[in-house]
Amino acid sequence: MRLVRTLTLPTEDLLEAVSPLPEGIRAGVWDLVGEPKGLDYAEIDAVVLPYATRGSWQQGLERVPNLVLLQAQSTGYDGLPEVVGSGVAIATAAGVHVAGTAELAVALILASLRGVDDAVRNAANGVWDSRRYPGLADRRVLLVGVGGIGTAIAQRLAPFEVELTRVGSRARTDETGPVHGTDELVTLAADAEVLVVITPLSEDTHHLINREVLAALPDGALVVNVARGPVVDTAALTDEVLSGRLHAALDVVDPEPLPAGHPLWGAPNAIITPHVGGNTEAFVPRIHKLLKEQVGRLARGDEPVNLVRRGPWA
């Protein structure tokens, strides 16, 4: 049964990427801010969301009376169920951002543990300060999140000869070994020199890395967040970083963007990147491939990939 016959894409480039369209599928261009081109609101069955921005999505989507599917260009989908009716399916771009986010996680770890941030600041001031940094080899790494990106981070950490402990939503054993449950976080944190966070944001993971978990980390430990800002208690982390006890390397924060004047901006033991984990040149061909596949599946009446809320495909 074919549920989607029309869709909008946020840019002309994405429309070109999925063209020629399969027989029976029509498409228009709509950035959810202006008016759709090529389709009327009442004709739209599926909407591909813009990348990275969340401006006026709800207001725009409220104009689409017959929406069947909401397609994100992100791996996370926090906030999306709240902007559409319960009968609307939601699909993510899971897989598209894996390589980029995993490489940034490792880059942030290395930059902090090898003092690259200090070297950049020193270079700007003409200061030569040669000293010993912890490095990544032989570090005890606690990885919170064992999905696609978490698995990719684990694979990339293997050549660095770390002692890796993985944490998922529940304790289990998978094809690569034991996975601990989140109920063990405080105990596990006490032995972790690097804590890497790459778990989806949900009611269960909001402030999963809370004041108690952070307090359990040893002095000098590094907290790396490439997940979503609210998974970590920003106030608690800020206190630990400003005290000098912990280091942080953050691609995501809460709130986001981090307000001007926030104390983390000036903390010498914090590295902050502006939520660019999956935003590399590798993203473009990968999102094109995913959307092309998705349009083909919709044309054939097949179930879309990466459904996180099934809607009419339930």
Residue 314's pLDDT is 87
What letter does residue 37 receive in the DSSP assignment? B
Q: Give the per-residue pLDDT at 1.
A: 72
pLDDT reported for residue 255: 95
State how far the Cα of 87 lies from the Cα of 75, in Å rounded to an integer.
Answer: 21
CA 215 to chain centre: 25
297 is catalytic: no
Helix (H/G/I), strand (E/B), else coil: 100: helix
Q: For the chain, give the number of residues.
A: 314
* pTM (2 d.p.): 0.92
Give the whole-angstrom CA distance, residue 206 versus residue 222: 20
256 is catalytic: yes
Active-site choice (97, 139, 166, 275) = 275
- From the candidates 97, 228, 247, 309, which is the catalytic residue? 228
Low-confidence ranges of the chain (pLDDT < 50): none
Give the β-pairing of 46-48 and 6-9: parallel
262 is catalytic: no
Q: What is the pLDDT of residues 239-285, one digit of tens each?
A: 999 999 999 999 999 999 999 999 999 999 999 999 999 999 999 99
Catalytic residue among 43, 103, 256, 293: 256
